[in-house]
């Protein structure tokens, strides 16, 4: 069985502050952000809405994609989010 990995983008509001991460357990990781269990950037800026994610069969590909997205211009990230989630809704997983 292949263990899936995910890259995800979270925000505090539409067009707000963005956070990009990688995980092997998206449900748990999003819960941690929403519950404020992790001190740091996402807690400081109240980033608790899952607005985008991608699924990978290989953690190395997920990490590579995360690095790629972190190097993108903000406008490119917003375009990616709005293609996938035009209303910036907090996604159910």
Could you say which DSSP state residue 65 is in? H
Domain count, the chain: 1
Q: Write out the DSSP string of 5-53.
A: EEEEEEESSTTS-EEEEEES-HHHHHHHHHHT-S-SHHHHTT--EEEEE
Domain range for 17: 5-84
Contact call for residues 11 and 41 (beta carbons, < 8 A): no
Report yes or no on 91 lying in a domain.
Answer: no
Residue 27 is part of a domain; what is its CATH number? 3.40.1440.10
pLDDT tens track, the chain, 93 positions? 678 999 999 999 999 999 999 999 999 999 999 999 988 999 999 999 999 999 999 999 999 999 999 999 999 999 999 999 999 999 998
Report yes or no on 74 lying in a domain.
Answer: yes
In terms of Cβ atoms closer than 10 Å to its own Cβ (0-12, 13-18, 19+), residue 35 is exposed
pTM of the predicted model as reported, rounded to 2 decimal places: 0.95
Report yes or no on 93 lying in a domain.
Answer: no
Report yes or no on 75 lying in a domain.
Answer: yes
51, 54, 78 from 46: Cα distances, Å: 14, 22, 19
């Amino acid at each position: 069985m292949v263990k899936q990995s995910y890259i995800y983008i979270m925000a505090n509001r539409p067009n707000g502050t963005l956070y990009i991460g990688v995980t092997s357990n998206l449900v748990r990781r999003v819960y941690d952000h929403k519950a404020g269990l992790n001190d740091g950037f996402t807690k400081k800026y109240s980033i608790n809405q899952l607005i985008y994610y991608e699924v990978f069969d290989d953690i190395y590909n997920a990490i590579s994609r995360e690095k790629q997205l972190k190097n993108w211009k903000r406008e490119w990230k917003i375009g990616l989010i709005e293609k996938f989630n035009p209303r910036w809704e907090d996604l159910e997983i």
